[in-house]
Amino acid sequence: MASEGYANGDYGVMSDGFSAGALFKQGFSYTYDDLIFHPGYINFAVDDVDLTTSLTRNIKLRTPCVSSPMDTVSEESMAVAMAAVGGIGFVHYNNTAQEQAGIVRRAKKQRVGYVASPVCVRPSDSISIIDALKAGRGFSSVVVTEDGAVGSRLVGIVTSRDVDFVRDRSTEVREVMSRDLVTAPAGTSLEEAAKILIGSKKSLLPLVTESGEFVELLCRTDLKAYHELPPLGAPSLGSDGKLLVGAAIGTRDSDKDRLKLLVEAGVNVVILDSSQGDSMYQRQMIEYIKKAHPGLDVIGGNVVTGYQAKNLIDAGVDGLRVGMGSGSICTTQEVCAVGRGQGTAVYKTAAVANALGVPIIADGGISNSGHVVKALSLGASTVMMGSFLAGTDEAPGNFFFQDGVKLKSYRGMGSLEAMTKGSDARYLGDKTRLKIAQGVSGSVAAKGSVLRLVPYTLQAVKQGLQDLGVSTVKAAHDGLNAGVIRLEVRSGAAQKEGGIHDLVSYEKRRF
């Protein structure tokens, strides 16, 4: 029984499934889960898959993952970790401009492997401070400096071994601290510092300036953890030679002052953070930034249509953030009746933006490696993740337990909780504004370190691209445009079949 394709002699290659162009013409809004790709031909090894991609017109990344500018996702540790794995973090702006710029400045200063913002105490502090640190932060080795801050003269180190058997917890740190210290000169390479620390058999190695000021800290526990991690590869560095760090700002007049501080702090790229980016506010802001800070890349959004994308590209953006209502904590589609299924949104915006040389960030709705493969294959150059990265060691906030499960808080930036905090800074205490929530506040399971989660996820993404028969992100885009990559919509039953089924119990271990 010859099908139309067979009759043409293509044996179904080009008539099986749909090209993206044909599939997305049908009037439905598709999510990632609605869609499934046909496998292609594999003529390369999985390790030959290269995920190098573009974040913006001018910024390239080795890893197509970025962290969302949300206050339960992206602060200093996340920005450092995302750059360490070859991606980038976007620092949120639900804080004062000074706080945000401080986070950017510290993240950019950080060297991968060294402790981010090491805690210091003063010699006159009581040792109960160590008890509090152990309870709240989970560590008990700290550096003692004259002023109790980084940059001040190093005088000692206290570890739990120094304070274990001291009954009087008001005893001053100076009485118990170790003064016999092994140090390394400021600027020592990680490799060299690691050798010194391992050789010393101590738990901490402070790096000090010639005049004795404490500047950086290497920790044995971290070193052990790194040793067990997949190799991280080269970090994302800016043209300044420092870690690449992004930040979000709004489109109000006050955001111009915020931006000035961010630029002074060395920010490499900014995102204009809005649920509906095709606005006069955003156009005015883009025009302002391009004049005031001509070297700075600007990402506009969010958008979900080709029309919106074209408008922001005409206004001068260097990258676009795509997604409206697809986020795990989003209620925008319910509250405002606008948005789009994320699969359709990525395809439709990328079709316009890629042709004009502007990369797309697929933002929201990423819950597994398959979603990353789908986003990249539908035209995105990077994916932005909120919930996927919330709950990692590097996300802000402390872990807590609920019914025996280890959790961290995660909330939408349009949730009442986030707005109430941010409005104080953003709207200068305007409590008369009617606040309508477009997001919720909740929690997510603990996921370990970004330094493990992202590399494992990307290995799965590489396997996905290999199955599709494409070895680069660009090849995926080209294959989709040429109609060589074929896809179709999964029925409800097909989606069920594609998931785990018919088991009485199972354990899902991802890696």
Ligand X SMILES: O=c1[nH]c(=O)c2[nH+]cn([C@@H]3O[C@H](COP(=O)(O)O)[C@@H](O)[C@H]3O)c2[nH]1
Ligand Y SMILES: NC(=O)C1=CN([C@@H]2O[C@H](COP(=O)(O)OP(=O)(O)OC[C@H]3O[C@@H](n4cnc5c(N)ncnc54)[C@H](O)[C@@H]3O)[C@@H](O)[C@H]2O)C=CC1
Site for ligand X, rule CB under 6 A:
68, 70, 302, 323, 325, 327-332, 363-366, 384-388, 412-415, 438-439
Q: Give the integer Cα–Cα distance in Å for 353 and 58.
A: 15
Who's near 488: CB < 8 A, 6+ residues apart?
A: 17, 18, 23, 35, 36, 38
Torsion sign, CA atoms 259, 260, 266, 269: positive
Q: Does 252 bind ligand Y (CB under 6 A)?
A: yes
Query: Considering beta carbons, is residue 285 or 413 the nearer one to ligand X?
Result: 413
Scored b (16 or more CB within 10 A) or e, 224-263 reads: eebeeeeebeebbebeeebbbbbbbbbbeeebeebbebbb
- Tell whether 438 is in a known binding site: yes
CB 246 within 8 A of CB 270: yes
Q: Give the integer Cα–Cα distance in Å for 177 and 105.
A: 31
Who's near 499: CB < 8 A, 6+ residues apart?
A: none
Of the candidate spans 117-125, 325-333, 442-450, 463-471, the one that interacts with K ion by CB under 5 A turns out to be: 325-333
User: Which member of 258, 426, 452, 486 is catalytic?
Assistant: 426
| 509 is known as an active-site residue | no
List the single partner that 384 binds among K ion, ligand X, ligand Y, none, CB under 5 to 8 Å by kind. ligand X
Q: For the window 285-324, what string marks contact with K ion as x by the rule CB under 5 A?
A: ----------------------------------------
Q: Give the integer Cα–Cα distance in Å for 468 and 201.
A: 49
| 336 is known as an active-site residue | no
List the single partner that 451 binds among ligand X, ligand Y, K ion, none, CB under 5 to 8 Å by kind. none
CB 424 within 8 A of CB 398: no
Q: For the window 346-375, what string marks contact with ligand Y as x by the rule CB under 6 A?
A: ------------------x-----------
Supply the DSSP symbol for 321: E
Query: Considering beta carbons, is residue 129 or 330 the nearer one to K ion?
Result: 330
Amino acid making up residue 182: V
CA angle 316, 382, 14 (to 5 degrees): 105
Of the candidate spans 125-133, 151-159, 309-317, 321-329, the one that interacts with ligand Y by CB under 6 A turns out to be: 321-329
Q: Does 302 bind ligand Y (CB under 6 A)?
A: yes
- Tell whether 410 is in a known binding site: yes
Q: Does 330 bind K ion (CB under 5 A)?
A: yes
User: Which member of 330, 340, 452, 486 is catalytic?
Assistant: 330
| Min dist. Cβ of residue 305 to ligand Y (A) | 14
- Measured CA distances, 65 to 160, 218, 477 (Å): 38, 27, 17
Give the residue numbers of the binding site for IMP. Answer: 328, 363-365, 386-387, 410-414, 438
- The residues assigned a catalytic role are 330, 426
Give the residue numbers of the binding site. Answer: 273-275, 323-325, 327-328, 330, 363-365, 386-387, 410-414, 438
Question: Which residues of the shown chain bind ligand Y in the complex (CB under 6 A)?
Answer: 250-252, 273-276, 279, 281, 302, 323-325, 327, 330, 332, 364, 413-414, 438-439
Give the residue numbers of the binding site for NAD(+). Answer: 273-275, 323-325
